[in-house]
A and B are shown apart, each in its own frame.
Chain A
Amino acid sequence: MKKRISSTKLRLPARAVSLPARVMIHEIPTGVRGLDDILGGGIPEFSFNIIGGAPGCGKTTMAHQIIFANATPKKPALYFTVIGEPVLKMLRYQQQYSFFDESRLGKDIRFVSLSDVVLEKDLNAVLEEIMKQVADVNPGIVVVDSFRTIVRKASATIGEAEMQSFIHRLAVFLTGWEATTFLVGEYAVEEIRNNSLFTMVDGIFWLSQVTERNSVVRKLQIMKLRGQASAPGLHTVRISNSGLQAFSRTLGLGGGKTKSLRRRRLSTGIPELDKMLGGGILEGDSLLVAGPSGTGKSALATQFIAEGIRQGQPGIMAIFEERPDGYTKRAGTFGLDLNAAIQKGTLEALYLRPLDLSVDETMQEILDAIKRIGAKRLVIDSLVGFEMALAPGFRADFRESLYRMIGALTAAGITILSTVEVEDNFTELAFSHYAISFLTDDIIRLRYVEIDGQLRKVMAVIKMRGGNHSKDIREYVITNQGVVVIHPRRTDYEGLITGIPRRSGPRLAQQNEAAPEPKASK
């Protein structure tokens, strides 16, 4: 007997009648450090892509990194070489990279030359050969290098429609065989507009070399990527022994933590300065120390980092102007043993002076170092040196890049002390050349003043976003203890910030005053 089911029971729950789930596109890793993030996770599986650009940009190396990152004996990579760079030379050069593992050749990675078919036969024969090899090997990744050569050879005899048909059949076949494909080719940007190949592919990885004055910087742009959102714009690429490394121009912009409301105050290592700062620098703040040459910016930075180490907060010193050994030596004269901290792994000195540096690379270096030692404090000494190390093309964007970098690092809970050299003049109190004060939370200004026939030094806390601070202008000296704030606020002078103050109080009996700095008296 059939059981009657009431109409209410027949009603399916809302979820059961919802639309079927969308297809999940798996992403495969590129093996190129930084590129997966730029792509939004990796390369969409089974996609049909172009790696294009001018010669010498790293197209073949990128293709090799992709195959070495993905090929397995079950799903090997099939690398078709076509005229262009002979395979022997390709292997000769590619094996210099650290990712190249010759033990995987023949098993996970197979090279097949298409040169003879391309030279002697037509596109149908080329397609047939590719189909035959793919059917034999069942690859997960297919690379055709250089695809441009196939097209150029065939273009002499066939029309656009026939070429489109070839590309279409190739794309359909390779996707049908569940292969992720990379067509490598030398193209100029202007060729993209009227070339149907670029319409048909799912992804365009565009590599270029940007020249400005004597500097050449490699760039990567993801011009197109079907199925997922990639980071827009031109990203810096560097080629080293490890192959290509990409530095996203959006590095650090997403996923940052917001600063907690209850933040600790960190000591600078200079007790009187801590008092001026209302107890110290707020954790996660960016502090700018601005002053002319010789006012003790680096000394102050050293004390800040050394105090952190003393309190169990590992630190990074990104140094652009002098060598780390000079830095540690000077710290030694203040009684601060930075070498011991370096050896212990609680301090890292990054000496960043490669040619044509980009802010993104610097940020990556610093982020890597922070991760390595769990750093809580960072010194950038100095912003002027940093700017000088950049390729000219990056200098134009220095302010924007610095904003991004400091934002990313402070969001990660790092407390940053940056130094900047400013020239003292006698009409205004400039904080820096860059108008970057908006991106720092706190500013300390150091300057020279002429008092009683001596060139002395004063400091003032100009700005502190997170709280109140002393408004005093205090005199300080640099002794064998480092920067030491000596005098309380002086009320017998006006116009100290001009550098040429006027005496407003009574002149005290003039003594033969010894220079307050032991360094100066020697």
Chain B
Amino acid sequence: MRNLARCLIAYEAPEIRSFETEIPAGFPVCEKLRLHLATFMGKTGFHTLLARSLVLSIEEVPWLGAARARADDSLEGLEELRAQIDPEEFSEGELVVAAQLLGLLVAFIGEKLTLRLVREVWPEVPLDDWNSNEGRNNEKTN
């Protein structure tokens, strides 16, 4: 999932630079997914996935333990953390959370359907050469 998450983060980064004057409070990839998935699965559904992703990420990125998913699905404490943490480390945090979120989707609905949802949000991003071998093993081999 890391490759996919990295690909999406890289795609989002120049967009932020060109359109945003300030750095967004949350993780842009998670935020874009939220806008799309909340219609599809409801706010509660997305909130649960985000909160779970955050918990799963803490083992890899301990400083994320200070963040918390709010009811509106923004990440509480992220603004303060951004100021304290090295930008590279912060980016790593975003990568891990996004990868966990995508991983959870794959675990529930499979890779094909997850990629379909991702394509709906980022239709321009080429995902065909994305290597899925690193993800959770939830796919049936037909």
Tell me the A residues contacting B by CB distance below 8 Å. Answer: 81, 86-89, 91-92, 95, 102-103, 105-106, 111-116, 119
Cβ B109 vs Cβ A88 within 8 A: yes
Compute how far the CA of A150 lies from the CA of B24 in the bound complex, rounded to whole angstroms.
36
Cβ A95 vs Cβ B42 within 8 A: no
- Interface check B45, CB cutoff 8 A: yes
Instruction: Given A95-B113, A102-B116, A105-B113, verify A115-B108 contact (CB < 8 Å).
Output: no
CB of A388 to closest CB in B, whole Å = 36
Which B-chain residue is minimally distant from A91 (CB atoms)?
B109
Q: Which residues of A contact B43 (CB under 8 A)?
A: 115-116
Selected from B38, B44, B116, B117, the residue in CB contact (under 8 A) with A103 is: B116
Selected from A91, A92, A95, A116, the residue in CB contact (under 8 A) with B44 is: A116
Compute how far the CA of A112 lies from the CA of B117 in the bound complex, rounded to whole angstroms.
13
Selected from A95, A105, A113, the residue in CB contact (under 8 A) with B39 is: A113
Within 8 A of A (CB), among B28-67: 38-45
Cβ A102 vs Cβ B40 within 8 A: no
Instruction: Given A105-B116, A106-B116, verify A92-B108 contact (CB < 8 Å).
Output: yes
Tell me the B residues contacting A by CB distance below 8 Å. Answer: 38-45, 105, 108-110, 112-113, 116-117, 119-120
Which 5 residue pairs are nearest across A and B when measured between Cβ atoms? A113-B42, A115-B42, A88-B108, A102-B113, A87-B41
CB of B110 to closest CB in A, whole Å = 6
Compute how far the CA of A374 lies from the CA of B132 in the bound complex, rounded to whole angstroms.
47
Q: Which residues of B contact A86 (CB under 8 A)?
A: 41-42, 45
Q: Is the interface of B mostly helix, strand, loop or mixed?
A: helix
Q: Identify 8 new A-B residue pairs, CB closer than 8 A, beyond the known A81-B41, A89-B108.
A: A81-B42, A88-B45, A92-B109, A102-B110, A106-B116, A114-B42, A116-B38, A116-B44
Q: Which of B45, B117, B120 counts the most chain A CB atoms within 10 A? A: B45
26 A-B pairs whose Cβ atoms sit less than 8 Å apart in the complex: A81-B42, A86-B45, A87-B45, A88-B41, A88-B45, A88-B105, A88-B108, A89-B108, A91-B113, A92-B108, A102-B112, A102-B116, A103-B116, A105-B116, A105-B117, A106-B116, A106-B120, A111-B41, A113-B38, A113-B40, A115-B43, A115-B44, A115-B45, A116-B42, A116-B44, A119-B44
Q: Which of B41, B105, B117 counts the most chain A CB atoms within 10 A? A: B41
Which A-chain residue is minimally distant from B41 (CB atoms)?
A87
Selected from A89, A103, A111, A119, the residue in CB contact (under 8 A) with B40 is: A111
Q: With contacts defined as CB atoms under 8 Å apart, how many contacts are there between chain A and chain B in the complex? A: 56
Q: Which residues of B contact A88 (CB under 8 A)?
A: 41, 45, 105, 108-109
CB of A136 to closest CB in B, whole Å = 11
Cβ B41 vs Cβ A113 within 8 A: yes
Compute how far the CA of A92 lies from the CA of B41 in the bound complex, rounded to whole angstroms.
13
Which B-chain residue is minimally distant from A114 (CB atoms)?
B42
Compute how far the CA of A92 lies from the CA of B43 in the bound complex, rounded to whole angstroms.
19
CB of B47 to closest CB in A, whole Å = 10
Compute how far the CA of A102 lies from the CA of B117 in the bound complex, rounded to whole angstroms.
10
Compute how far the CA of A95 lies from the CA of B112 in the bound complex, rounded to whole angstroms.
10
Cβ B113 vs Cβ A113 within 8 A: no
Q: Which residues of A contact B108 (CB under 8 A)?
A: 88-89, 91-92
Instruction: Given A86-B45, A102-B116, A113-B45, verify A95-B40 contact (CB < 8 Å).
Output: no
Compute how far the CA of A105 lies from the CA of B117 in the bound complex, rounded to whole angstroms.
8
Compute how far the CA of A20 lies from the CA of B89 in the bound complex, rounded to whole angstroms.
76
CB of A110 to closest CB in B, whole Å = 8
Compute how far the CA of A106 lies from the CA of B116 in the bound complex, rounded to whole angstroms.
8
Which A-chain residue is minimally distant from B111 (CB atoms)?
A102
Compute how far the CA of A116 lies from the CA of B116 in the bound complex, rounded to whole angstroms.
24
Which B-chain residue is minimally distant from A105 (CB atoms)?
B116
Which B-chain residue is minimally distant from A112 (CB atoms)?
B39
Which A-chain residue is minimally distant from B104 (CB atoms)?
A88
Which B-chain residue is minimally distant from A82 (CB atoms)?
B42
CB of A143 to closest CB in B, whole Å = 14
Cβ A95 vs Cβ B117 within 8 A: no
CB of A112 to closest CB in B, whole Å = 6
Cβ A95 vs Cβ B110 within 8 A: yes
CB of A459 to closest CB in B, whole Å = 53
Which A-chain residue is minimally distant from B119 (CB atoms)?
A106
Compute how far the CA of A266 lies from the CA of B116 in the bound complex, rounded to whole angstroms.
59
Which B-chain residue is minimally distant from A96 (CB atoms)?
B140
Q: Which residues of B contact A113 (CB under 8 A)?
A: 38-42, 45
Which A-chain residue is minimally distant from B114 (CB atoms)?
A102
Compute how far the CA of A409 lies from the CA of B112 in the bound complex, rounded to whole angstroms.
45
Which A-chain residue is minimally distant from B113 (CB atoms)?
A102
Q: Which residues of B contact A112 (CB under 8 A)?
A: 39-40
CB of A76 to closest CB in B, whole Å = 13
CB of A280 to closest CB in B, whole Å = 50
CB of B118 to closest CB in A, whole Å = 11
CB of B78 to closest CB in A, whole Å = 23
Q: Which residues of B contact A116 (CB under 8 A)?
A: 38, 42-44
CB of A156 to closest CB in B, whole Å = 19
Which A-chain residue is minimally distant from B45 (CB atoms)?
A86
Compute how far the CA of A89 lies from the CA of B108 in the bound complex, rounded to whole angstroms.
7
Cβ A87 vs Cβ B44 within 8 A: no
Compute how far the CA of A25 lies from the CA of B108 in the bound complex, rounded to whole angstroms.
41
CB of B14 to closest CB in A, whole Å = 25
Q: Which residues of A contact B41 (CB under 8 A)?
A: 81, 86-88, 111, 113
Instruction: Given A103-B116, A105-B116, A113-B40, verify A95-B109 contact (CB < 8 Å).
Output: yes
Compute how far the CA of A85 lies from the CA of B106 in the bound complex, rounded to whole angstroms.
18
